[in-house]
Chains A and B, each alone.
Chain A
Amino acid sequence: MAAKILDWLDERLGIKTVYDTVLDRDVPKVNWWFTLGSASLFLLVMQGITGIFLTVYYVPTPDHAADSILYIMNGVDFGWLIRGIHHWGASLMVIFVFMHMLRTFYCAAYKFPRELTWVTGVILLLATLGMGFTGYLLPMNQRAYWATTVGTEIAATVPFIGTFIMRVLRGGMDISAVTLARFFSAHIWILPAVLVLTISIHMYLIVRLGISSIPREDD
């Protein structure tokens, strides 16, 4: 019965071809360092799911942000777990994405024909750091406030247009309700959209080109 349903679906969707191409493709003999991309993807999905759960209670205004997070931590059943996964997953993701980049670099896997996989990977690294930067402000406590003060001041050190960049990031001269609102928007809409689009290209390229093998001594 199950096989019949599968055949019916396959005839219309071509899912077996998708399965063969995406999951059953040939890969060279590699090691555990080659799992970091999948690990990053897994963490991203976890961040997405726990992040969506957090928005059920979190409120992005200076008056209520810290209190709504306290409520998630102390008032909501398993709130500590959802926020804990999101909190630790964020740091882990930066570490994993970075190690993934190091592996690609040291294995020279960025070379022809995989240059665009590298370029999209760089965008993904920057977007991941952007997620970390914008997410850090959201609790709107003292640590978040001062970290964002320093972070946006760093942007202000760019020659000529630095102050303008800082104003755009903050939505004005001060860190205010406007800043929190636009960081929240960037954190849950703009950057995730960039991530999903870029990952689609990144993974299409991996499936299309395959992964490179570990370089040998004579390479």
Chain B
Amino acid sequence: MAKSPHISRSEFVKITIGALGAIMGVVIGLPAIGYLLSPALKISKSEAWVSAGPLVNYPIGLPTLFSFTRSKINGWEKTVSSYGVYIYRETEDLIKAYSNICTHLACRVNWIEDEEIFFCPCHDGGFDIDGEVVAGPPPRPLFEYETKVEDDTLFIRIVEG
């Protein structure tokens, strides 16, 4: 049979159904993906100076834990997150504020006074008094917050998002 230059009836139907199917797939599929990813795409950034109380509360040379909570809206729920910041006054005026979140997988570190180490119980990560990694799997030093002192009160700059 000689090949017709025109597409056949059944070929036309196949192409049309294929094209319509693809359009319907995209029209339904893209919103479905957007629906599932939505909360991950909405990034809320916030920053604040949090008061950590009078500077005299923090002895010189000894990392001291300052805990506080902040609330944030996740979806429909007000989530209260706990924060822990180790305040370390190296000297009278040189103040460091480390996040207690381990840089490995986000467990919380504790200052072990006898060993002079910030120790993470999850995978034996260790950080020295300068926040540098000295043991275990953490890839980075402890996160350091920006600090300021106003009227003998210590403030820590929290940045989220």
Contacts and interface: CB of A to CB of B under 8 A. Distances in A.
Contacts, number: 52
B81 interface: yes
Contact of A168 (B40, B72, B107): B40
A112 B76 CA distance: 52
Contacts of A168: 36-37, 40
Nearest to A163: B40
Interface string B74-91: 111101010000000000
B122 interface: yes
Contact of B77 (A62, A146, A149, A164): A62
B72 A174 contact: yes
A176 B75 contact: yes
Nearest to A62: B77
B40 A164 contact: yes
Interface string B23-60: 00000000000001101111100000000000000000
A68 B102 CA distance: 32
Contacts of B104: 153
Interface residues of B, number: 21
A96 to B, nearest CB: 28
Contacts of B42: 172
A56 interface: no
Given A150-B106, A178-B74, A173 B122 contact: no
A167 interface: yes
Contacts of A164: 40
A172 B77 contact: no
A130 B75 CA distance: 23
B40 A172 contact: yes
Given A168-B37, A171-B39, A171-B40, A177 B74 contact: yes
B151 interface: no
Interface in B95-152: 104-107, 122
25 contacts: A149-B105, A149-B106, A149-B107, A150-B106, A150-B122, A153-B104, A153-B105, A153-B106, A164-B40, A167-B39, A167-B43, A168-B36, A168-B37, A170-B40, A171-B74, A172-B39, A172-B40, A172-B42, A173-B43, A174-B79, A176-B79, A177-B79, A178-B74, A178-B75, A178-B77
Closest 5 CB pairs of A and B: A176-B74, A177-B77, A167-B40, A178-B75, A171-B39
Interface of A: 62, 146, 149-150, 153-154, 164, 167-168, 170-174, 176-178, 181
